[in-house]
Structure 1
Amino acid sequence: MSRTEIALHDAFRATLTALSRPGLALAVPGAADAAAAARLVVDAVWEPDAPPVVITGAPGPGALAALPVGTEEEPELGATVLVVVGAGTATTRARLAGPGVDGELVTDLPLAAGTLAERAAACADWPRGIDLLLVGPGPRIVGLPRTTRVSVLAAG
């Protein structure tokens, strides 16, 4: 395998693990920074004609609320969103629970409390919802699938 193929394979595995273990920050091997990690993840997981929604920087008010959440019959039509965050991004302390989380996990997420509230509203009518992948700061990825319940504890 070439270095590129290995990097894509590693990015694919990191993405799957991130979605199956919500809140766990995982390295994206082969990436030097968040932008490179995001490119690897997109190239490894999605076809060029069906990429996820990519937001660079903090999502603005209403950014997640405007995304499709799928239907009860076709929840897969809900958006998958990659949020690429840089160093110095404000964090929100949150408690995560749900499939893939052993009991509860308290962690700092690089999203504003208002963005997490929009995500909660989008995911309130399961199986409809959106899946989030937080890439960065640095070459790391954190998954927040629609099945993960997020309770805001404190904005940082």
Structure 2
Amino acid sequence: ANAFVGYLNSVSYAGTNQWRLPAIIDTGAVGCSFSNNGNDCGYNVDTSTGEMARLYYDELGGQAINDKLGNYQPDVAGIPDTAFFDNEVYDIYWSSLPSAFPSGAWIFATDDGVQMDGYSKSAHSYVWAVTSALAVPVPEADSVAMLMAGLGLLGLMARRKQSV
């Protein structure tokens, strides 16, 4: 995850070299005091403790797989499908906060809305890089292909018009 963010910064992706992993703040005793309501670790966390938690719960309206009383909610399906993001997955995303355990790190899981400590650094997980800088939109490959096709068609039409 850190290598990926380093790469984004090295190439100034989207015009900025200020990419980083999302922040999580460990507000209690060092490590995870797991709960289902309002803590820095668990389900339905205090969203001021993590950028991914704030995005998931406050901005996208996501729900945890356990309600605030700890009851399992079988109909919760992870991060809501929105038009704002492409290619998000229902899985685990790394944060910038190292774990109290040397081999672990804090994560946020979009498949069930959990924020927690101690996830193994050797596990394969996802990266959602963030920046506070104003990023320049990078066109999608499909958009660039359509633009090139349109320009090519205009060129052919102009050339045909000249030869008539």
After TM superposition, is the score higher than 0.5? Answer: no
* Bigger Rg, which one: 2
TM-score, length basis structure 1: 0.26
Question: Using CA pairs below 8 Å that are at least 6 residues apart, which structure has the higher relative contact order?
Answer: 1
Q: Which has the higher strand share?
A: 1
What is the TM-score of this pair, normalised by structure 2? 0.25
